[in-house]
Structure 1
Amino acid sequence: MLGISIYPYKEKMAETIAYIDLAAKYGFGRVFTNLLMIDKGEEKQVITVLKTAIQHARKRNMEVILDLNPAVFDQLNISYHDLSFFKEMGATGIRLDSSFDGLVESLITFDLTDLDLEVNISNDTYYLENVLSYQPNKKRIIGCHNFYPQRFTGLDYDYFIKCSEKYKKLGLRTAAFVNSHEASHGPHPYTDGLCTLEFHRDLPITLQAKHFIATGLIDDIIIANAFASEDEIKALSQLLTNQLQFDVVFSEGTTALEKEIVLEHQHFNRGDINSYSIRSTFVKLNYQTSDLPANNTVETVTLGDVTVGNNRFGQYKGELNIVKQEMPNGKGEKNLVAKIKSDELFLIPYVKPWTKFQFREANHDE
C-alpha cells in the first residue's frame, strides 16, 4: 500500500485537503500524521486542525495512523485504557514512537475502539518479543520504521535489513518512508529531506520505492514529507508493488515481437541459478514456432543487458536473460534487445532463485 504524510499546519489546511484528494485519486490507501511535540497551550488548535484533515482522509477510505508517545497521553490527559479520543478524531490506528512496558501495548490491542497499534521497528531490541509475551491481539499490531530529517542520520542498509527481517519474521505488516524532492514540510522546522534509509535521501522517489519493493520486507511505502508533486504521486502509483519491475531502454531496431517478449510476460528466475545471467526460461514456450532472426548480436554482453535467444539458439530460442556480468556472445545466439537503466543496476542482485519480476519501457525523458 502507498501512503502520504500530513502535518498540523493550520495555514495549509486547504493545501492539505487537496493533497489528500490527490493521493486518493491515485489509489494511495493510508495517511501518516502525528501529535508529537505539541506546544503547551496549542493542543486544542492542533487537534482541531488534524481532526478536520483526518476525517477528510477517512471519507476517501484511507487508513490514518497517529504517531504518539507516552508523553502525549500525559499532555492530553488521556488514559491508555480508553483510546476513544483518537477514534473520535478519525484515526484507524496509533503509532508508538517510543514504548510503554509491553503490558500496556498488549492491553491497547484489546481496546474497544479496535484501533491498530503500530510499533516502531527502527530498533534491534527485544521490544516486540516483550509485547508478545503479554499475549496481545496480534491481529491488531503493525510496524513502521522512523524517518530522519537530518542528513547522514538515516538508517544504514544492513541495520535496516536486520531490523526489517526480524519484525517481518514475527508476522508484522511493515512500513517505511521515502523522500519527496518536491516537498519541504515535515514535523520539524528543520528538514534536509525525510527518509528511512540514508542511501535513499537523494535518489528519485520511484527508485527509493523500487528498492523497498526489491527487498520484499516492506508492505507499505509512505511519502514522509509534504507536499509531494502530482508527478511523484502518479509515478509511485504506476509501480508494481508486489514484485520488482525494471525500467529498460530498448535497443535501436528491437522488433515488436522482441518487445512483446520483454514487456508482456510474467518473468521469474530459474531456481538453479548461475553467476552470469538471470534466466526467464518459461517465456520461450510461447515462441517455439515464432521467427526470431539474429538482431543486434553484439560480440559481448555486459551487466544489465537484456537478451533474447534467436533462431540460432535451438531449444533456447525465446529465452530471456538479464546479464549479471560480462560474457561473450561470439556465436550471435542472443539478441541484445534492451538495457536496464543504469541507476537500477544495483537492484539486479535482488533477483534470487524463483524471484518474480517484470519490465516496463523507460520514459524517454528519464
Structure 2
Amino acid sequence: MKLLITGGAGFIGSNFILDRIEKGDKVLNLDKLTYSGNLDNLISVQDNENYSFIQGDIGDKILTQKILSEFRPDAVVNFAAETHVDRSVVDPESFVKTNVLGTSNLLLETLEYWKSLSQEERTRFRFHHISTDEVYGSLGFKDSAFREDTPYAPNSPYSASKASSDHFVRAFHETYGLPTLISNCSNNYGPRQFPEKLIPLMILNAIEGKPLPIYGNGKNIRDWLHVSDHCGAISLMLERAMPGECYNVGGNSEKNNLEVVAAIINVLDQEMPRSDGKSYSEQIHFVKDRPGHDLRYAIDASKIKKDLGWTPKFNFDQGIRETVLWYLKNAEWVKNVKNGNYQDWIKKNYEER
C-alpha cells in the first residue's frame, strides 16, 4: 500500500511506520515535529527507498493538497494530535488547533482527493483516524467497560478535542461518503514513547535517582495496550474493516498507577539495582492530583475480536519488562529526546505541585 501517515514521528505513529515499512509498504510521513515528534524514532528507515518525510502541519491547506495530489495514497492514517492531558489543561487552545481544526482540514482535502479517484480506487481507499478511550469520560470501579456505543462524555480539554475530531470523521462519512475508520484505543506503552508519559517518566526518573511523582493516591485505573498490539489492530482495520466502522482497541490489562509503577520497579530492582541496595520504591513521591483526573478507563474490545479476529498478543508483565529494557538499552535516544523544552515542562508540571 501507499500510506500517508500524519504524526508519524510520534510514539505510536513511528512504531506503525516501522511495521509497515517492514511489510513492504510505501510511506510518506507528514509531521509538524512539535515537542513529542522525534525523527530519531525512524532513524532505521530514514534512507529506505519506501520512506519519505515532510515537515508540516495537517492544518496547512496548500501543503496537504500538494501531498495528496502528488503522492496519491491508498490510505491516510491520522496519528497527528496533541495528546498529553496535562498540557491540555495548561494550553487548551493548541489542542483545538491541531486536533479539531487540523483534522477537519485534513478531512476536507482528503475528500477532494478521494473524489478525484477512479471508482475502484475510491472503493479501496480508507481514512483511518486514531482516537482515544478518553472521549467516553470516566468510569466507576464497578462500571462496565467502554463499548463503541458508550455516549461520549469527555472531561479534559484533550479528550474534548479528540471527541470533536471523532465527530467530524463520522460526519464526513455520513454526509459525503468518505470511507472513514475510527479506532479508540486505551493507554499505549512500549518503546519510543515521549518521556513525559507515566511509564517512561517513571523508568527514567528511577535510574536518575529522582522522585517518582504519582498523582493523588495512585488509584486511578487505566487499561494498558502495548503499542505493537495497537499497530496490529490498525493494520487489520485497514485491510478488513468496512467503511464507517468504529472499533475500541484495548489490552485487557487494567492496572492502577501504583500497580504500574510497582511493575516497573520490580524490573529495575532486578536488572539495574540501586547502588545502596534499596528498592526504587523508596523514590515514590505523591503529588497533588491534576484537575479533572478521570478515575478509571476500561475497554470492551469484543467487537474487533468478533468482526476482525484481533486480540492483543502482549500480557502486561511481558510488555512492561520489554519496555523497561528498551529504555535501559537506548541511552542515546533518551539523551537526545530530553531537551530543554522537556525539562522545562517537567519542572512546571510536577515541581509546582
Determine which structure has the larger helix proportion and give its number: 2
- TM-score, normalized by length of structure 2? 0.31
Instruction: Give the number of the structure whose alpha-carbon radius of gyration is greater.
Output: 1
Q: Where is the strand percentage greater, Structure 1 or Structure 2?
A: 1
Higher relative contact order (CA 8 A, sep 6+): 2
